[in-house]
Chains A and B, each alone.
Chain A
Amino acid sequence: MVGETRQAVVSVERLSKYFGAGTARVDALIDINMDVYPGQVVGLMGPSGSGKTTLLNCIACILEPSSGRLTLDGEVVYDDCWLKADLRRLRLDKIGFIFQYPNLLPFLDATDNVAVVLQLAGLGSAASLSHAVELLDYLEVGHRKHALPKQLSGGEAQRVAIARALANRPRIILADEPTAPLDSQRARIVMDLLRRIAIDQNAAIICVTHDEMILDRFDHIFRLRDGRLETEAPLGPHLETAIAG
């Protein structure tokens, strides 16, 4: 299938995560296997406490798994222990993250919120500002480039946050309920935007959501229950387009 023709950008093998020990041990993730391919937008669904955010944090290298193997963009980063010393640099280079709430730095305007990630990656001041403005234009919030986060609407702030996630052209974009604070119309617009990004940037997008209204926007849905991957929903209508892209 897809895996035979293209290499997975995110590959999770037998990944487990537990908290505590002995009788207090809680298994948050049990033997998770999943592959996500370039251009794919996948949904991670499940009831509260099923392990969605834990899995997302493990993939984002925020949380150390207990066992298993994690490969990001062809590089094994975890194999029963971290294989990379500088995980923050890894996140900066390979992963873009879209939070449930925009989490923009309140003291920076929209442009600087995007440019700061570029500058952290080593890009010069002028180049980073110019690229940040391009990204804001791409996400159709260029007209708000000088606005502070408190002056932006929810949708605008989320677009700026998406621009920040895209700034370093990451191969992996992780989104934690990006449509939660938005109404259904805006939620669809954001999902369409993510799809366009996945295709344009050949990135893999993993999106944690509870929102059943946007299920048709995913190529693939992973459902979690009690830390186990319960089902893999059939491929969505967009996958062929993604593969072709």
Chain B
Amino acid sequence: MNLAYRDIKHNFLRFALTNFGLSLLLGIVIMMTGVYGGLIDDALRQARAATADLWVVQADTKGPFAESSRIPGDTRELVSRVYGVERAGAVTYQSVQAELNGAPHRLFLIGFELGRPGGPSKIVAGRQILRSHYEIIVDRRAGLALDQEVPLGTRGHKFTVVGLMQNEVTSAGDPVAYITLRDAQQLQFELAPPSTRREQARGGALQSNDQINAVIAKVSPYVPASEVATSLSRWKHLTALTQAQQETMLSQVVIERARKQQLLIMVLLVIVSAVIIALIIYTMTMDKVRSIATLKFVGAPDRTIVGLIIQQALSLGIAGYLAGLALVFIFRPYFPRRLVFDPESVAAVFIITVVICLIASLLGIRLALKVDPAEALATSG
């Protein structure tokens, strides 16, 4: 006879309500792991989407994500000619604010050369960019539809949405969009018409738009990427970073503070959960003092009493965890940030929950073991 199960069944409404409250708390812990996973994944996604072996950026910078980097547009030609480089593509990165569907939205624009590395890796609807101007591929999160026109830049050029992507957002949660390199250079470096006229009037030299933020290089499998990076770094105006260096920098430097904040919140939530579970189990045990005294009186060994409390604590924790997990997955699509769960994190929260329950039940066990069997003789009914 499972006393824990019988007690839960008897007080099912109370158990369900307690469980609901606990599931919300554990749901938040699980959600925070998703936010943390999403933060890392989003930070690395753009660097990984480029499928680069090497990132060639402005000398002594950690660009193009950690720091701004500006290099001449013809750098790609130079990089392409280095021994070991199979393919290379110039890219630009910029954040823009655009009026989308009547509301201001931020977009992270990536300019790339058609047919070269740096373009969108996966399109879920529509097609690749084929024309050299005014076509855009954007993440679904921007809320745009295929063939919709988006005005961008100081000259208000209208870009037609030709393709849609899924889960391509930055670590700040902004949707990513791809346009051609020429369009991106115009948006990033071209002055508005009044500013151009003023520059001409004061006799200033016309600035070249042929600037890029980085060159992405694909290296031959027969040549070590580090060797190519060393060759490229001999040019004093360039720095070459391997993909591994770029990812390490993004995950450990760029989002370090956000990562620590998430971790701290998670630790605090785990502590709060532990305290709440301990109090719930203690209260549940307090409610059963007379029953425990009676069980002891009629000869129940301590292991029966301890088993009752541990089983109830685990039932509460595991049911709360599963309900919390279900809630997170039900409401995941409505969450403003992308939640990324890896099995290890989800399993870790489960193990933490079980450990918390076991530790939290110690308080209840201590109380139960101190119950005097003679309390069963107390005269109150």
Binds A, one of B2-10, B155-163, B187-195: B2-10
CB of A156 within 8 A of chain B? Answer: no
Tell me which residues from 58 to 117 in chain A have a Cβ below 8 Å from any Cβ of chain B: 60, 62-63, 88-89, 91-93, 97, 99-101, 103, 105-108, 112, 115-117
Which chain B residue has the least Cβ–Cβ distance from A125?
A: B1
Alpha-carbon distance A168/B264, docked complex (angstroms)? 56
In the complex, chain A residues whose CB is within 8 Å of the CB of B297: 60, 62, 91, 97
Q: Contacting B7 at CB < 8 Å: which of A53, A63, A107?
A: A107
- Are B298 and A100 in touch, CB under 8 angstroms? no
Q: Which residues of B contact A107 (CB under 8 A)?
A: 3, 6-7, 9-11, 291
> At the interface, yes or no: B300 with Cβ under 8 Å from chain A?
yes
Contacts of A93 in B (CB 8 A): 299
Q: A89-B299, A105-B294, A120-B299 are in contact. Are A176 and B377 (CB under 8 A)?
A: yes
- Which A residues lie within 8 Å of B9 (CB)? 107
Interface of B is mostly: helix
Let me know if B338 is at the binding interface, CB within 8 A: no
Q: Which residue of B lies closest to A95 (CB)?
A: B299
Contact of B3 among A88, A92, A116, A176 (CB under 8 A): A116
Task: For residue B282, give the distance in angstroms from its CB to the closest CB of chain A.
Answer: 18
Instruction: Report the separation of the CA atoms of residues A141 and B300 in the bound assembly, to the nearest whole angstrom.
Output: 25
Closest to B5 in A: A107
Beyond A108-B6, A112-B6, A116-B1, whether A103 also contacts B376 by CB under 8 A is yes
Closest-by-CB residue of A relative to B291 is A105
Q: Does B295 touch A at the CB level, under 8 Å? A: yes
Query: With a CB–CB cut-off of 8 A, which chain B residues contact A106?
Result: 10, 291
* Contact between B374 and A63, CB atoms less than 8 A apart: yes
Cβ 8 A contact of A88, one of B11, B296, B379: B296
Quick one: which of B190-238 are within 8 Å of A by CB?
Answer: none
Kindly state the separation between the CA atoms of A105 and B379 in the bound complex, as whole angstroms: 16
Q: Is B290 an interface residue (CB 8 A)?
A: yes
Q: Which of B1-23 contact A (CB under 8 A)?
A: 1, 3, 6-7, 9-11
Let me know if A164 is at the binding interface, CB within 8 A.
yes
Assembled-state Cα–Cα distance A106/B290 (Å): 10
CB distance from A97 to the nearest CB of B (A): 6
Contacts of B379 in A (CB 8 A): 100-101
Q: In the complex, are the beta carbons of B373 and A62 less than 8 A apart?
A: yes
Residue of B nearest to A63 (CB): B374
User: How long is the Cα–Cα vector from A143 to B152 in the complex, in angstroms?
Assistant: 82
A101 to chain B, nearest CB (A): 5
- The reply to whether B1 and A99 contact each other, CB–CB distance below 8 Å, is no
> A148 an interface residue at 8 Å Cβ cutoff?
yes
With an 8 A cutoff between CB atoms, is B301 at the interface?
yes
Residues of chain A lying within 8 A (CB to CB) of residue B7: 107
Residues of B within 8 A of A115 (CB): 1
Asked whether, in the complex, the Cβ of B11 is within 8 Å of the Cβ of A57, the reply is no
A33 within 8 A of B: no
A100, A148, A181: the one contacting B377 at CB < 8 Å is A100
Measured CB to CB, the nearest residue on chain A to B381 is A101
Which residue of chain B has the shortest Cβ distance to A180 in the bound complex?
A: B379
- For residues 277 through 330 of chain B, which have their beta carbon under 8 Å from a beta carbon of chain A? 290-291, 294-301, 304
B residues in contact with A100, CB < 8 Å = 377, 379
A233 at the interface (CB under 8 A from B): no
Confirm or deny: A26 has a beta carbon within 8 angstroms of a beta carbon on chain B. Answer: no
Q: Does A119 interact with chain B (Cβ within 8 Å)? A: yes
Bound-state Cα–Cα, A100 to B1, Å: 26
Q: Write out the residue numbers on chain A whose beta carbons fall within 8 Å of the beta carbon of B291.
A: 105-107
With A106-B291, A107-B10, A108-B6 as given contacts, are A121 and B299 in contact (CB-CB < 8 Å)?
yes
Contact in complex: A92, B6 (CB < 8 Å)? no
Partner of B374, one of A62, A117, A164, A181: A62
Chain B, residue nearest A53 (CB): B377
Q: A88-B296, A100-B379 are in contact. Are A120 and B304 (CB under 8 A)?
A: yes
Determine the distance from Cα of A103 to Cα of B292 in the docked complex, in whole angstroms. Answer: 11
Tell me, in angstroms, the Cα distance from A195 to B301 when the chains sit together.
Answer: 30
A89 and B374 alpha carbons, distance in the complex (Å): 16
A47 → B minimal CB distance (Å): 16
Chain A CB count within 10 A is highest, among B10, B298, B376, for B298
- Given A100-B377, A107-B11, 14 additional A-B pairs, CB 8 A: A53-B377, A62-B377, A88-B299, A91-B297, A91-B299, A92-B298, A92-B300, A99-B294, A101-B380, A106-B10, A112-B6, A116-B298, A120-B299, A176-B377
Partner-A contacts on B (CB < 8 A): 1, 3, 6-7, 9-11, 290-291, 294-301, 304, 373-374, 376-377, 379-381
Task: Point out residues on A near B: beta carbons under 8 Å.
Answer: 53, 57, 60, 62-63, 88-89, 91-93, 97, 99-101, 103, 105-108, 112, 115-117, 119-121, 125, 128, 148, 164, 176, 181
**Interface CB pairs A-B, < 8 A, 16:** A62-B297, A63-B374, A88-B296, A89-B301, A91-B297, A92-B299, A103-B290, A105-B3, A105-B291, A105-B294, A106-B10, A107-B9, A119-B1, A120-B298, A120-B304, A125-B1
